[in-house]
Amino acid sequence: MNIRRFLLVIPSIDIKDGKTVRVVQGIPELNCLEYGDDPVEMAKLWRAENAKMIHVVDFDGAFDHSNKNLKIVEKICSSVVIPVEFAGGIRTLDDAKAVMETGVARIAISTLVFEDRAEFEKIFNLYGPNKVIVCFDIIDEELIIRGKRKKTGLNYLDFAKEISLIGVERFIVTDIQRNGLLKGPNLEYSYNIAKQTNSKVTHSGGIRNKDELMDLQQYLEDGIDSVIVGRAFYENRFPCQKLWRVAESGIFN
């Protein structure tokens, strides 16, 4: 019997100063849109709307190496019965341990992979490829790190091939020039990484509507099996969202 597979759609909760925000192109100074004071309640809402996973980004951790939002992350993990994926500010093995203690299912690491490979490998060897994944933020085929502020001079595909050799099995791939702008996804980077490394890819950035989700569905067999959606969800760009909210509004009462 053939079992039909579906794209995993992952709502994103971006946290800054304890609030839910949406950061355009990943740069708070450029444009930071607030979407409520309580990230925990937002997580409950996405669960009520049948999310199967939540992606949490700690911008204070990413930019200031602060752990002030970890208590919020812990509350999110204890408030929903679905896996929570975390990204933002993991620079050391101790950082990774502190984040994992909140109850997250897996951690996504970016800067550390480029700046301290030995420390990254300590984390990777401790937790394994199911719990440690790598984020690629890309501008014009070049990898960007340090909260999307620093150019690496590295081609994204060359480095993906290199890092996959140590056992990395999943990448989150973001075209920064599309992220948070609702201009449609650039699938080229995600597709190339999936095909050239035989890894799984979570696409991020640019999704505007259900038609673009259906376009992504066609890449399941190529390795793009999931997508992170942020602003389009928060701005009700999917027709079914309001219906879900009416039908399930009392689920957490």
Point out the residues that are catalytic: 14, 137
Q: What angle do CA 7, 106, 195 make, to 5 degrees?
A: 45
CA distance 174 to 83: 21
Residue 174's H or E segment, with its range, is strand 170-175
Instruction: Evaluate the CA torsion angle 206, 175, 97, 64 in order and state its sign.
Output: negative
Q: What angle do CA 38, 201, 138 make, to 5 degrees?
A: 80
Instruction: Give the phi and the psi of residue 84 in degrees, each rounded to 5.
Output: -115, 130
CA distance 60 to 107: 16
- The token pair that represents 231 in the structure block: 């602003």
Residue 227's H or E segment, with its range, is strand 224-229
